[in-house]
Structure 1
């Protein structure tokens, strides 16, 4: 049993990937697997259950055997709409789950203790929200959200709010910090150069895991 409340894991894959020339960034391949598969493998063990937020033809994500949930507000208003869709889905389908943890679908190196540390940070700071941070950057879509704020979020979106951080400031949030070296665990892939850099990180990381497995000295 996890040492924190039951949490729904959500992979956000509703972006338009303009800097990659369109298409679905999470379906790009890294080390023989899609980015989506890397994210799912890291997030799933941390959560009670998991869903994917995406729009358009949902059959393209059929390789991942989890529910795919579309935005409930039209015209691609951004990641806040994906968070709202997840909160509303949890309230309807998983009423015993009161927390949602979101991660972008293009962040293949998310920490394996992400949900644990987000809950710990939120609890220590007595705030309703907690997001991840590395180096000098806060990652507003890698965040822990209470399901009971879904009505306020819907109202804000319908009133025109789009920036995730603007909505978070209205309610109060804290950050859980990770080091950005030897690589940033929240490295996200926006351009072809980023994908090449991620491949380099993956190859070095895999080599470290393999060497440590022989000695028992490293846990990814």
Structure 2
């Protein structure tokens, strides 16, 4: 297996409008004494290199640690693909030697501590491979390793083709899915509605992290 020269950079996706949560910054909702955002940061910090936040709304106080905030580099609230493009272009501009960028949504509070190790394992020597997480019978396309080399292709797909579906774009390339089997619950459970937040709180109370 290829030994990668540095930790992968990470893009935290918070570019949506959170309509199902009543609007506002969904990732600031509290869970277990922390905001969703800071819970995810704490889990990912040992696993990744530079971390940035893709966000299109104004939030006055995110609290520490401060992260660079990147609004979408294409207009029109084009969905998570626009956020992924923004991250790819940002890290390419920095001239990183890393081959991939990790994307993770900010509404998934149970991200596993071995996420990057598990996603990296099948990469081998193929730097053009997209690796996505899978659990409970479905793929999670926003929890993925993205080759930095795909930035130009993705911009064309968004701007010239008006493409919005992550899997439609990803199917154009070599793609691997890594399966998680967790008896304590879906590690990629995400919070879209107020009732989802209550489910997550119940899961914490039962010790099902």
- RMSD in angstroms over aligned alpha carbons? 1.9
Q: Which residue of 1 aligns with 2:139?
A: 138
Match of 2:35 in 1: 34
In structure 2, C-alpha distance between the alignment counterparts of 1:73 and 1:42, rounded to whole Å? 29
Query: Equivalent residue for 2:202?
Result: 200
What is the distance in 1 between the residues matched to 2:4 and 2:118? 10
SS in 2 for 1:72: coil
Q: Deviations for 1:137-161, whole angstroms, at most 9, x for unmatched residues?
A: 1000000001011000000000200
* Preserved CA contact (<8 Å) 2:15 2:54: yes
User: Of the candidates 177, 181, 191, which is equivalent to residue 189 of structure 1?
Assistant: 191
- Cα pair 1:129 1:145 within 8 Å, conserved: yes
Cα separation, partners in 2 of 1:125 and 1:96, compared to 1, 3 Å: closer
Q: Is the 8 A contact 1:130 1:175 kept in 2?
A: yes
Q: 1:164 to 1:123 in 2, by over 3 A?
A: same
Runs (5+) with no aligned partner, structure 2: none
* Map 1:103-114 → 2, pairs under 5 A: 103-114=104-115
The question of 1:165 aligning with 2:167 is answered yes
Q: Distance in 2 between matches of 1:197 and 1:33?
A: 16
Deviation at 1:58, TM superposition (A): 5.1
Preserved CA contact (<8 Å) 1:127 1:174: no
Q: Give the structure-2-normalised TM-score.
A: 0.91
1:62 and 1:37 map into 2 onto residues whose CA distance is 9
Instruction: Give the gaps of 5 or more residues in structure 1.
Output: 209-219
Work out the number of aligned pairs and report it: 205
Partner in structure 1 of residue 102 of structure 2 = 101
Between Structure 1 and Structure 2, the one with more helix by share is 1
